Chain A
C-alpha cells in the first residue's frame, strides 16, 4: 500500500512551453501533498505544500505564477511549469501524506519523480 505515482516520468520540452506533472496517490487519500525539486547530486528542496481544496503554500523564492499547483482531489495534485526555461530543468518529486483514515499519517510517501529537460 501507500503508492504514489507521477506522470510523466520524464519530459523534454521547448523553451517557452508549459508542462504539467501529475502526482497521484493510488491506494490512499492524501490531504496534503508536497512538491520538491532536486538538482543533480543535490538534496531535495521543498517548493510548495498543497492541500486539497485550497491554495498551495509556496516556499520563499518559488514563483507561484511560474509553478502552478492544483490539488483538485484527495488523490491528485498537479504541478504546471509555465513558460519553461532551461534553468527549470530538474528532477521534480512529489510526496503525499495520508489522511487520518490511514494509520501512518506521519509519513510522507514519495512518487518516483519526473525529470524535466527544457531545451
Chain B
C-alpha cells in the first residue's frame, strides 16, 4: 500500500523567502510522485511530477522537487516566495500512470508581505 505524509499542515513564509514543503512517501515499488496546487474553490493544478527519470524535477511557477530514495522524500521548494503562491499544496503518489493517486493531507502555504 502507498501512503504520503506531508509534514506541517500550515507553513507561513515571508515574501521573498525560501519555500520548503515536506513530503515523505511509502511505496512497495518505485513510485510516481506528484505535487499539485489548489487555490480556493478550484481544482488541482499539476506543479511537477517524478516518474523515474531525473531526480531533480523542475515545475511551473519556479517550483522544483528532489526525489531522494534513501530518505523516501519528495520535498517541494521555491527559492523566493510570491504572494500569489499562497494556496494549498498536495503531494501525491501512485504506482503507475494507470493507478489512482493517493494524496497527502495537504499543506497550506501563507505568504506574508
Residues of A at under 8 Å CB distance from B? 4, 6, 32, 34, 42-46, 49, 91, 93, 95, 97, 105-113, 115
Contacts and interface: CB of A to CB of B under 8 A. Distances in A.
28 contacts: A4-B43, A43-B90, A43-B103, A43-B104, A43-B106, A44-B44, A44-B90, A44-B101, A44-B103, A45-B103, A46-B100, A49-B100, A93-B43, A95-B44, A95-B101, A97-B98, A106-B49, A106-B51, A107-B46, A107-B49, A107-B97, A108-B101, A109-B46, A110-B36, A110-B46, A111-B43, A112-B43, A113-B43
Contact of A42 (B34, B36, B46, B105): B105
Contacts of B49: 106-107
Contact of B43 (A32, A34, A110): A110
Nearest to A115: B41
Contacts of A45: 103
Nearest to B96: A106
Interface residues of B, number: 22
Contacts of A6: 43
Closest 9 CB pairs of A and B: A106-B97, A110-B44, A112-B43, A110-B43, A43-B103, A113-B43, A43-B105, A46-B100, A44-B103
B42 to A, nearest CB: 6
DSSP class of A's interface residues: helix, strand, loop or mixed?
Answer: strand
Contact of B32 (A4, A93, A106, A112): A106
B45 A110 contact: yes
Q: Which of B32, B46, B96, B104 has the most CB of A within 10 A?
A: B46
Given A108-B101, A110-B43, A110-B45, 16 more contacts: A4-B43, A43-B103, A43-B104, A44-B90, A44-B101, A93-B44, A95-B101, A97-B98, A106-B49, A106-B51, A106-B96, A107-B46, A107-B49, A107-B97, A109-B46, A110-B44
